[in-house]
Amino acid sequence: MKWIVLIQLSSTSLISKGSQNRYKFPPLGLLYISSILRMHGYAVHIIDLLSFGKDFSYLVKRMIELKRKYGNDPLFIGFSVFTENANDAIIASYVLKKVFQNSIIVFGGAHAKAAYEELLQSGVVDIVSLVEGEGHVIEIVNYVEGLIPLEEIRGIAYLRNGHVETTDRFFLESLDILPFPDFLNIKYHNYRQVGIIVTSRGCPGKCIFCASRQFSGSKYRAYSEKRVFAEMMFLHFYFKIISFGIMDDTFTVLKERTKKFCYLLKKYANDKIVYAIKSRVDLLNEETLSYLKETNCSAIHIGVESADNEVLKIMKKGITIEKSLDIIEKIASYGIMPECSFIVGNPGDKPETIYKTLMIVYLLNKYFTLYPSAVAGICTPYPGTELALESKELGLKILIKDWRRYDTSQPIFETNDFSLNFIREVMWSFNREPEMLVERALKKYPNLKEFYEIVERKIKNSAESFFKARKGNLKEWNPLNI
């Protein structure tokens, strides 16, 4: 029997470790690839170390068990590589190559696409996928089986005579032709019972801290509303899932699709499920919010990022803090929880602007009680982002090179306006005693008092309208039963 192993490694990051219990979700990327492979008759085993906190010894033990079962080496061993586990993926590949000498190693994922030259030069990686894996995974298998030469595989990088070679990249145009993720190839009941789905690829945004455009393209490509609804209903009826998280960076880009999706949900399943989405400040309006409200959308995540408009310009967000506060108020007025993310330590940030941003985070969590409405992370120059590619032009002094520390919880660079130690101290204080940090900031920067009072009134009004629209006891409310 011909078999393949797809691996999601664990992480040493405190952020990832902390999320293992709360966000134990299936590895969707690997599940999509598994579906394609199993359609073509291959046995596929998914080893998810991240979600279950398993270590490298478990991986080796499991791989040896599989080799005994099949009596041969897998055709290839695929790794989903993100920045903070890239070094671990190299180490794992080195060991597995010693044990499975007839298998090739394939790396995919955002970090692999950005840092493919470095990964290939390690000498333990045979192929790096530069595109969506579903589009060429069968070509990779055909190469392994001797049916086509390596250079005929589209969208990959590989070494030839010590030099890195690449083939033409491409993006899948019609996503509806893809099968559902291979949910039946994992023990779904061992994961959080929240249906996590992705309904689009590509992003129209230009944010300098995000690599989505580079890896998935600037063209927004989406599943049809019928396909999205069908996948949700499959998870609902097969696994009894009633809570869903739509994980697209921006679900509401195509307003007509959003409208049609909500129509299907309301007509056939409105009393059965609840769901949350992600969107952008500039892609939400009253009409869209009314559709979402009618179909049990419980929360909308938006990236506010900064409280300072000049910093937002440098980040290329295309929004202002005033617009963000207005849309937060509108979301809340429909009884939908506005979940907001922020980034501190950006190019253009100064201590004063960082404190302004943390004030908004504090106020959102103060008035939208019992459920964390806002989170703040530290600006991180992930490979492939404009932040990393144009770091010198943006005035960044990148001091940390260890990929394991690229997890948004630790400062990686400093500028002429703030140091690593300043960011560490501020975030440590904010995470422990946010109210005390805000009080200290207002004493240090009395000019921020008026800003703070205006924002507090705005957020307080938003929270009150949210509670009024919910018409219930917030203590009993949890948008995704997490």
* All structural domains of the chain: 3-166 (3.40.50.2300), 193-476 (3.20.20.70)
Instruction: Give the pLDDT mean for 189-204.
Output: 88
Here the tokens at position 18 are 């902390």
Contacts of residue 99, defined as CB under 8 A and 6 or more positions apart, other chains included, come to 60, 63, 64, 67
pTM of the model: 0.93
pLDDT of residue 191: 87
Q: Summarize pLDDT for 8-20 with one digit per residue, the tens.
A: 998 765 455 555 5
- C-alpha 10/C-alpha 22 separation (Å) is 15
pLDDT of residue 472: 56
Whether the pLDDT of residue 388 is over 70: the answer is: yes
Here the tokens at position 35 are 């579906």
Residue 166 to residues 128, 148, 277, Cα–Cα distance (Å): 9, 16, 36
Q: Summarize pLDDT for 110-163 with one digit per residue, the tens.
A: 999 999 999 999 999 999 999 999 999 999 999 999 999 999 999 999 999 999
What's the CA angle centered on 324, arms 323 and 328, to 5 degrees?
A: 120
Q: Summarize pLDDT for 57-79 with one digit per residue, the tens.
A: 999 999 999 999 999 999 999 99
Q: Summarize pLDDT for 439-467 with one digit per residue, the tens.
A: 999 999 999 999 999 999 999 999 999 98
**DSSP class of 347:** T
Contacts of residue 248, defined as CB under 8 A and 6 or more positions apart, other chains included, come to 198, 199, 200, 277, 278
- C-alpha 424/C-alpha 475 separation (Å) is 33
Instruction: Give the pLDDT mean for 338-367.
Output: 97
Give the number of residues written for the chain: 482
- C-alpha 387/C-alpha 212 separation (Å) is 13
Residues facing 274 on adjacent strands: 243
Q: Reduced to 3 states, what is the DSSP secondary structure of residue 159? A: strand
Percent of the chain whose pLDDT exceeds 70: 95
Strand segments (E) across 98-170: 104-108, 127-129, 156-160, 163-166
Percent of the chain whose pLDDT exceeds 90: 83
Instruction: Please write down the HEC assignment for all residues of 94-107.
Output: HHHHHHCCCCEEEE
Whether the pLDDT of residue 480 is over 50: the answer is: no
Contacts of residue 344, defined as CB under 8 A and 6 or more positions apart, other chains included, come to 306, 354, 357, 358, 376, 377, 378, 379, 423, 426, 427
